[in-house]
Structure 1
């Protein structure tokens, strides 16, 4: 998307909208202005003519009548005629140079009388006047030979019409004033269009900027880069859209990262399983081939080879069982069969079963429990499996002559168990990895004391399935303590 494209489109659309709106408004204003202005001028002339007609009707003095008409002509800057009932001009006066020049050309003085002028006032309908109604005419007048506005007001006295007062004013000055007013409206329109164009330009850039940023972010997402974000500085629909895009980008980045970690874990898992399988299979194959080829004739040596095959077979079986258990746990296929069980009895039974392995490795295995029963709702087999895995791990890494302590404590709402050894401990930078599948702290240890690397991962999952938590406390050279809690 080119930056100029959306900016120009938004600016053009906004400018055209403003042009259309202001254009219609200005044309309407010009029409109303013209109509209103002419109506005001006609009302002004008609009001003056009526005022003069009323004054003439109440004053019979000829001089006073003339003065009244001259005052009207002066105030309106118009030419005023006094007509009789026959439509003949019996008096005329003018308050403007235009009117006086016209009257002089017709041989009339400021108070001159004319005869035979009725046909010159064909625009004044005397029938309407005699009926007591005013007459308004706008257009070309042959007497003045120009465009004029003519109004005539009847002079009424005692219910009868005595004549009419006719006021004439040229349209040219009125049109000039009107054009000046219309010019102001047009200039206002042009100025408004200029401001609107500038405003719409800045508005279009303001609206397009986050859209362009969103386009760049979306393009980066399509190319696999989910780290870019839209800078949000507005709280409106565009800002909400930008926030949604940022949320989408952030969630996609997290999910892609998770998928990558899952893929790495899968590949690492396959590699570690392959490694764990390769060594015992190699030992089994080597010992079996030696026996088949009769390389070893000594019965004691043959028995040793057979014991090696058996030990590695048992190791493979244990690995397969633990892999199946871990898969079921991770996929949620393990159902806990909880029941009320005495944790003291369960711990005592497990420790007794592990005494043989401890004695074989010359390690003292000790148990500390409360004197009274500690009842907890748990899956007996899975709770025993947790304890067995932790004890086996402690025995595996404790030196000959060392001690492993199993301790059971009762909390208010949970049981607390600890398995403590006095082995070499775990470096702090490796403690966060011990819950990973196949992770081994000391990779240089002999196979006689190394496990599959799955026991602690199983422990963590089973404890969490019970709603508990497992933690680790260890310092190099000071042994290791695993503590887990199970809600009662």
Structure 2
């Protein structure tokens, strides 16, 4: 009986050992499988991140190429014209009258202003995107600033026989935003309306004091916007179907700057148009009081 019990115990231990070994092997297999799954998932995540970064780099490269193309074209033309003007002065300077010289200087000044605006717009976009733009929020009268800006643009509008029709409240219209950035937004929208309007048209500027926001509308009777235009309206370096009507210059950055500034001040901006040659209306809404998302 003792020998039988001993043999039974040995056989049982062998069986249990085999079962335990199989369990350990199965557990090791499951561990290895899960580990490979985790490694594969990590690989997939890293691959997706690399794909995303690659797309981002391609987009940055595309923007860089567009910028170089724009800068080359928009800076080369006025620089060439300035060089030709200077060479003309050198060759025929003694025969130029005082009035002709004055007109030439005014023309040169305009060329230089155009080039300076290109550089300023590029720097503005870079400052906004790099987070280096400092906004100083405060409450101020938007109506007063808009009236002053429209006064400054009367001469430019008159040169194209355009009529600035402003509908403004009689009382102050307070907004909570950065005054300089807001003025830049107003300047872009009004100057664009003048730039892209044919002669002898109207430009309507409306300021509406709402409950929580102030709404600005700039409506022109110009070339309008196609569906394609509306899709890329606020993108950098966008070239829309409309063209300046008086030989004015356009960098393709103005509306992109407007969009970024409005977003930074917790406002909204968009445009509506019934199509080509049916004019367009640009609408900006800014808050009247501090917004919760504003950084301290």
Q: TM-score, normalised by structure 2?
A: 0.81
Is the 1:470–1:484 contact (alpha carbons within 8 Å) kept by the matching residues of 2? Answer: yes
**1:204 equivalenced with 2:204 (yes/no):** no
Shift of 1:209: 2.6
**1:184 equivalenced with 2:1 (yes/no):** no
| Alignment partner of 2:66 out of 268, 279, 284 | 268
Please name the residue that 2:280 is paired with: 480
Aligned partners of 2:154 and 2:268: how far apart in 1? 27
Alpha-carbon displacement from aligned partner over 1:205-248 (angstroms, at most 9, x marks no partner)? 33223433454x4xxxxxxxxxxxx2xxxxxxxxxxx5xx6655
Please name the residue that 2:200 is paired with: 401
Aligned partners of 2:284 and 2:145: how far apart in 1? 15
**1:382 equivalenced with 2:175 (yes/no):** no
Aligned partners of 2:10 and 2:94: how far apart in 1? 117
Change over 3 Å in CA distance of 1:443–1:344 after alignment to 2? closer
Shift of 1:403: 1.9
Q: How does 1:223-238 map to 2 (within 5 A)?
A: 230=41
Please name the residue that 1:312 is paired with: 111
The structure showing larger relative contact order (alpha-carbon pairs under 8 Å, at least 6 residues apart) is: 2
| Alignment partner of 1:366 out of 162, 165, 179 | 165
Change over 3 Å in CA distance of 1:195–1:475 after alignment to 2? farther
Shift of 1:383: 1.7
Shift of 1:288: 2.5
| Alignment partner of 1:454 out of 227, 232, 253 | 253
Change over 3 Å in CA distance of 1:447–1:354 after alignment to 2? closer
Alpha-carbon displacement from aligned partner over 1:359-399 (angstroms, at most 9, x marks no partner)? 11222211112233222233333322211110111122222
Change over 3 Å in CA distance of 1:458–1:404 after alignment to 2? same
What is the aligned-residue RMSD (CA, Å)?
3.1
Aligned partners of 1:268 and 1:442: how far apart in 2? 17
Alpha-carbon displacement from aligned partner over 1:7-54 (angstroms, at most 9, x marks no partner)? xxxxxxxxxxxxxxxxxxxxxxxxxxxxxxxxxxxxxxxxxxxxxxxx
Is the 1:290–1:296 contact (alpha carbons within 8 Å) kept by the matching residues of 2? Answer: no
Is the 1:283–1:308 contact (alpha carbons within 8 Å) kept by the matching residues of 2? Answer: no
Aligned partners of 2:12 and 2:84: how far apart in 1? 103
Aligned partners of 2:246 and 2:19: how far apart in 1? 85
Partner SS for 1:341: strand
Q: TM-score, normalised by structure 1?
A: 0.52
Please name the residue that 1:465 is paired with: 264
Please name the residue that 1:124 is paired with: none
Partner SS for 1:472: strand
Shift of 1:440: 2.1
Bigger mean CA offset, 335-344 vs 410-419: 335-344
Is the 2:114–2:249 contact (alpha carbons within 8 Å) kept by the matching residues of 1? Answer: no
Shift of 1:302: 7.2
Shift of 1:278: 1.3
Partner SS for 1:441: coil
Partner SS for 1:278: helix
Q: Structure 1 segments of 4 or more deviating over 4 A?
A: 245-253, 295-308, 443-447
Bigger mean CA offset, 448-457 vs 403-412: 448-457
Partner SS for 1:470: strand
Aligned partners of 1:189 and 1:282: how far apart in 2? 97
Is the 1:296–1:302 contact (alpha carbons within 8 Å) kept by the matching residues of 2? Answer: no
Partner SS for 2:111: helix
Aligned partners of 1:443 and 1:358: how far apart in 2? 18
Aligned partners of 1:324 and 1:332: how far apart in 2? 12
Partner SS for 1:287: helix
Please name the residue that 2:231 is paired with: 432
Aligned partners of 1:333 and 1:184: how far apart in 2? 83
Change over 3 Å in CA distance of 1:183–1:384 after alignment to 2? same
Aligned partners of 2:187 and 2:254: how far apart in 1? 9
Alpha-carbon displacement from aligned partner over 1:37-79 (angstroms, at most 9, x marks no partner)? xxxxxxxxxxxxxxxxxxxxxxxxxxxxxxxxxxxxxxxxxxx
Greater radius of gyration (CA): 1
Please name the residue that 2:291 is paired with: none
Aligned partners of 2:193 and 2:246: how far apart in 1? 16
Aligned partners of 1:277 and 1:316: how far apart in 2? 6
Change over 3 Å in CA distance of 1:184–1:474 after alignment to 2? farther
